Structure 1
Amino acid sequence: MTVANLPIDDESAALYTIGQVADMLDVQVAFLRRLDEQGVVVPGRSAAGQRRYSRREIDRVVEALELIEEGVTLAGVRHVLALRGRIAELEADLDRLQTGRHAAKGRSVGG
């Protein structure tokens, strides 16, 4: 294993316990459990079934906290985050299409 391939470098690696995340974000463990129950975040699970959070899931918790501070309900938070995810997917699709179009245009001009 090289240093470049460590799990800690993978933002989707579920490495952090619920207690660690609660301490990092200064929130209650019960709040994190509620976010999981409501489908706002989906932490991984250890072999023993304990929640394990990735950096990506921690970022979602932070986003949820920001939305809640603005007065959005948990159901609203779930919808907002789902919409943000869909927007990111569509933007990535658009970027791929534009890159492909530019590449095809370059081949036809130079070809």
Structure 2
Amino acid sequence: MMVRLPFDDEHAPLYSVGQVAGMLHVEQAFLRRLDEHDVVRPARSSGGQRRYTRHEIGDLQNAIQLVGEGMTLAAVRRIFELQHQVRELQEELARERATRRED
């Protein structure tokens, strides 16, 4: 059996602000602003350093695109909130449909 490594998990907080800023070609200060405005909130290391997951890096890419299209950080946060609600409702609907098929 193969051991699952942290970098195999898209939700493992592995990447520093500097690494992510370099990957996405943005300033570290911009990433900190996204955190401060609750757009993308990375985990913190024991030393208090931000650590991003691969999943969050995808969210950052989406946020950068939306900001580039003229959205404010508050608007991006709201879009992300609404997308999360839609995903939850889709999952709930799928469960409900599965339950009805079983009956």
TM-score for the superposition, normalised by structure 1 = 0.87
Offset from partner CA, 1:4-56 (integer Å, 9 cap, x none):
x2111211110001111001101110000000000001101111110000011
Aligned to 2:100: 101
**For the residues of structure 2 that align with 1:64 and 1:44, how far apart are their CA atoms?**
18
- Residues of 2 paired with 1:96 and 1:59: CA distance? 27
Normalised TM-score (structure 2)? 0.94
For 1:1-111, what aligned pairs fall within 5 Å after superposition? 2-3=2-3, 5-104=4-103
List 4+ stretches of structure 1 deviating above 3 A: none
In structure 2, what is the Cα distance between the partners aligned to 1:82 and 1:23? 26
Q: How many percent of aligned residue pairs carry the same amino acid?
A: 51
Could you tell me which runs of 5 or more consecutive residues in structure 1 were left unpaired when the two chains were aligned.
105-111
More helix by share: 1
